């Protein structure tokens, strides 16, 4: 059960001051980012005008932000509605998909991110207006954008392919086979989410079977769990689906013993935390000082900090870290440690991962 939203409350991302920019100048790594939820507002306006596709009547960036960005905590429906408004200007358009991937690299570079993984379901970026475009074409377009971004900004980016609960029963196998066949296009893992960006975690047998087969094939696995579901969904992801990382996972805190056993005493499973998103979707109540990430940092749990869907939240990596520092209370060294955790838990090959870890270690700030 997600927390009910209160329309009288209004929350925004914190402003990133020059001082915070300087204090957070270590290399950053982002692991939980939906590529199709990370599109620039001005790009959406541009594509909308080119194609004559309305964005709920929005003609300027300011108008579009009012349409897409939620400021009411626990308003998952507003977040989900946003995708139905803006995805039609991107679907099926390989040039637009490449552009989104490339621009994301630039935005990440401007926030000091040196490596990130963008997740998406390629089939949800297809469109009947472009019948010749396949899921593999979508992955190739993302790779082209990432390659351009790497060349221009020195940033590294890889793809995670998402299964979506409730679609055709053949879908998980299709995603698994794409991830198997398209490693040369930068695909490093598979994921599953309850809806395109929603939260129902009752995964079908076909999804579980695909993750078990991914484990056998040596394909990395991350699973959305403990966002709308509880500790038992997190446990199922770890034990039945061989999850190496958990997307969100906040509600594991409802079972203290399971939390201690799987995340404090053992550090093998990584938690992908998205603080701002967690409150805006209602996964966690609006009480920053008692946010799960506060406890995770105190317990030195293996977690990282990400943005989830910046097109819906208007957040950056710097704003997310500022929020974790000023509102939740993590110190700068703990924020850096989250980057090190992310580097160690990323899905790069071991030799590239070792280089990334070294890069992040070199940026360690002084302890408080």
Q: Does the pLDDT of residue 181 top 70, yes or no? A: yes
Minimum mean pLDDT range among 49-63, 172-186, 223-237, 255-269? 223-237
DSSP 8-state code for residue 99: H
Average pLDDT over residues 335-358: 99
**CA dist 311 to 131, 223, 308, 314, Å?**
27, 22, 9, 6
Lookup: tokens for 276: 């701002």
Q: What percentage of the chain's residues is helix, strand, coil (to nearest 5)?
A: 50, 15, 35
Quick check: helix, strand or coil at residue 163?
Answer: strand
pLDDT exceeds cutoff 70 at 345: yes
By DSSP bridging, strand 28-34 and strand 220-225 are unpaired
Are 277 and 309 in contact by the 8 Å Cβ rule? The answer is yes
Domains of the chain: 18-42+91-357 (3.20.20.140)
Q: What pLDDT does 368 receive?
A: 86
Backbone angles phi, psi at 224, to 5 degrees: -70, 120
- Does residue 239 have an active-site annotation? no
User: How far lies 119's CA from each of 189, 202, 284, 360, in Å?
Assistant: 9, 20, 22, 22
- What CA–CA distances, in Å, run from 144 to 46, 96, 98, 186, 346? 20, 11, 6, 10, 21
Beta bridge mates, 23: none
Phi-psi map region of 182: left, alpha, beta (phi>0 left; psi -120 to 50 alpha)? alpha
CB atoms within 10 A of CB 166: 14
pLDDT value of position 10: 84
pLDDT in tens, 251-262: 999 999 999 999
Distance CA 147, CA 153 (A): 10
φ, ψ dihedrals at 249, nearest 5°: 75, 10
State the DSSP H helix or E strand holding residue 340, giving kind and residue range, or none if neither.
helix 332-345
3-state secondary structure of 29: strand
How many Cβ atoms are within 10 Å of 366's Cβ, its own excluded? 7
Per-residue confidence (pLDDT) for residue 6, from 0 to 100: 62
The HSE-up count of residue 344 (CA atoms within 13 Å, CB side) is 16
> pTM score, two decimals?
0.96
Question: What's the pLDDT at 3?
Answer: 53
Active-site hit among 30, 103, 227, 272: 227
Name the nearest CA neighbour of 277 among 198, 223, 162, 344. Answer: 198
Residue at token pair 């703990």: 334
Q: What is the mean pLDDT of the segment spanning 184-208?
A: 83
CB 310 within 8 A of CB 278: no
pLDDT score at 27: 99
pLDDT at 1: 41
pLDDT of residue 149 exceeding 90: yes
The answer, yes or no, to whether residue 30 has pLDDT greater than 90, is: yes
The more confident residue out of 159 and 368 is 159
User: What pLDDT score does 79 carry?
Assistant: 86
Report residue 140 as tokens: 């190739």
Average pLDDT, integer, range 191-215: 83
pLDDT in tens, 300-325: 999 999 999 999 999 999 999 999 99
């Amino acid at each position: 059960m997600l927390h009910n939203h209160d329309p009288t409350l209004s929350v925004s991302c914190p402003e990133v001051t020059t001082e915070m920019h300087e204090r957070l100048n270590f290399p950053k790594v982002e692991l939980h980012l939906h590529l199709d939820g990370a599109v620039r507002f001005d790009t959406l306006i541009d594509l909308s005008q080119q194609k004559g596709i309305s964005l709920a009547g929005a003609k300027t960036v300011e108008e579009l932000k009012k349409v897409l960005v939620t400021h009411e905590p626990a308003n998952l429906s507003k977040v989900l509605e946003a995708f139905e408004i803006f995805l039609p200007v991107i679907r099926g358009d390989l040039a637009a998909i490449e552009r989104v991937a490339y621009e994301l690299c630039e935005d990440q570079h401007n926030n000091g991110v040196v490596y990130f993984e963008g997740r998406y379901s390629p089939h949800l970026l297809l469109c009947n207006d472009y019948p010749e475009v396949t899921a593999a074409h979508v992955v190739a377009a993302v790779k082209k954008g990432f390659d351009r971004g790497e060349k221009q900004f020195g940033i590294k980016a890889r793809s995670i392919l998402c299964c979506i609960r409730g679609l055709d029963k053949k879908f998980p196998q299709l995603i698994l086979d794409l991830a198997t066949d398209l490693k040369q296009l930068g695909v490093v893992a598979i994921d599953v989410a309850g809806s395109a960006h929603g939260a129902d975690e009752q995964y079908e047998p076909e999804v579980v079977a695909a993750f078990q087969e991914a484990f056998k094939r040596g394909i990395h696995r991350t699973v959305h769990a403990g966002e709308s579901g509880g500790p038992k969904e997190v446990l199922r992801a770890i034990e039945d689906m061989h999850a190496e990382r958990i997307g969100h996972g906040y509600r594991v805190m409802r079972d203290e013993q399971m939390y201690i056993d799987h995340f404090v005493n053992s550090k093998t499973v990584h938690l992908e935390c998205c603080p701002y998103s967690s409150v805006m979707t209602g996964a966690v109540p609006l009480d920053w000082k008692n946010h799960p990430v506060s406890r995770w940092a105190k317990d030195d749990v293996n977690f990282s900090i990400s943005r989830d869907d910046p097109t819906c939240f208007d957040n950056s990596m710097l704003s997310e870290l500022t929020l974790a520092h000023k509102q939740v209370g993590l110190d700068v060294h703990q924020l850096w440690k989250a980057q090190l955790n992310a580097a160690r838990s990323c899905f790069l090959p071991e030799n590239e991962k070792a280089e990334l870890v070294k890069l992040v270690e070199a940026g360690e700030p002084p302890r408080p």
